[in-house]
Amino acid sequence: MKLVKAPLPNPDTPFEMPLMDTSAIKRKWIDVAYTPDNPHPARKLDIYLPNSGDGPFPVIICIHGGAFTGGSKDDFQVSGFVDGVAEGFAVVSVEQRLCHMLPDGAYAADGQFPHSLFDFKAAIRFLRVNAERYRLDPNRFATAGDSAGGYHAIMAAATAAAPAMYDGALGYPSADDSVQAVVDWFGCGDLIIESEFNASAPPMALPDGSVMPRIVFEDVFLGLKCVEHQNLARFASPEIWITDKLPPVLLQHGAADEIVTVECSRRLAKKIADVCGPERVTFDEFPGWAHGDPGFYSDENLARVFNWLKAALK
């Protein structure tokens, strides 16, 4: 049963997504500051609980896509994951700093790597420390996201407890930031491959029939050209952080993805299998599916995702 519905989309920009209608979810906290001692307008999250039950509930901590520059925690990209409340999950949708465009056409540096990852990991620590208050099970956390959100979902899991990927100033520095499962939908993987893919791609067609020049968002996110600074780009890519401590991962990607090449997930799946064993990764490649294809949000696929999560979180 889907509880989340979407109103009409906002056509102002090509990255505006329709917002979720979560009125059918009765128990929720909206705009919770997850770095209360280091406030920032972007560091907020929404918590949704199943309409019945006392918990503690297993938790899906999701983060939206938007090419590292757009999207929001209440947009329809995360609606599939938020529908997990109907399957007995608590679902948390996290906002973080973005590389939003400034009036002069430049991009805000505070949303570039690694700041947004630091934010997301601070949200995980906040939720673990405050698990009892929000009826969450601190031993059953999963990260999930699509596109840029998929990148953050796998990066947060892979860099758990890594000193170089941690900002204690954002709060709860001694709290555990590990998770027990990951769902990555068509996420950015190797930033070099993805940068080359977007740099060589044709302009993007917009719904009104016009075209928009292709922006290499991976370069925007890194703050440098990935192909010219490959050591830094590898440092910012998930593959280099994979260890045998990585929790189970579900990767789903469309073979016809025109925004994030499916090669990102193919390579990531192979790296996880090589390091952790093939049982640690499940890779679904869907022929003909494009970026954000409606098939990801279908009843059939969501049932697969939630059944996989139930098994992974036991």
CB 110 within 8 A of CB 48: no
pLDDT in tens, the chain (314 residues): 678 877 766 555 445 678 899 999 999 999 999 999 999 999 999 999 999 999 999 999 999 999 999 999 999 999 999 999 999 999 999 999 999 888 888 888 889 999 999 999 999 999 999 999 999 999 999 999 999 999 999 999 999 989 889 899 999 999 999 999 999 999 999 999 999 998 887 776 666 777 767 788 999 999 999 999 999 999 999 999 999 999 999 999 999 999 999 999 999 999 999 999 999 999 999 999 999 999 999 999 999 999 999 999 98
pTM above 0.85, yes or no: yes
**Is 215 inside a domain boundary?**
no
What is the predicted pLDDT for the residue at 201?
75
The angle that helices 115-129 and 148-158 make with each other, rounded to 10 degrees, is 60
Residue 283's domain comprises 27-189+242-313
Q: The domain spanning residue 148 has which CATH number? A: 3.40.50.1820
Q: What are the pLDDT digits (tens) for 64-110?
A: 999 999 999 999 999 999 999 999 999 999 999 999 888 888 888 88
* Contact between 312 and 247 (Cβ < 8 Å): yes
Q: Evaluate whether residue 13 is within a structural domain.
A: no
Domain contains 305 = yes
The number of domains in the chain is 1
Q: What is the mean pLDDT of the chain?
A: 92
pLDDT at 214: 75
- Pair 152, 116: CB distance under 8 Å: yes
Considering only CA atoms, which of 182, 195, 193 is closest in space to residue 155? Answer: 182
- 3-class secondary structure, 190: coil
Q: Which helix (H) or strand (E) holds 91?
A: strand 90-94
Q: Are 172 and 166 in contact (CB under 8 A)?
A: no
Domain membership flag for residue 180: yes
Residue 219 resides in a domain: no
Given this model, what pLDDT does residue 311 score? 98
The answer to whether position 200 is within a domain reads no
Q: Does residue 221 belong to any structural domain of this protein?
A: no
- Quick check: is 195 in a domain? no
pLDDT at position 212 is 67
- Determine whether 7 is exposed, middle or buried from the number of CB atoms within 10 Å of its CB (0-12, 13-18, 19+): exposed
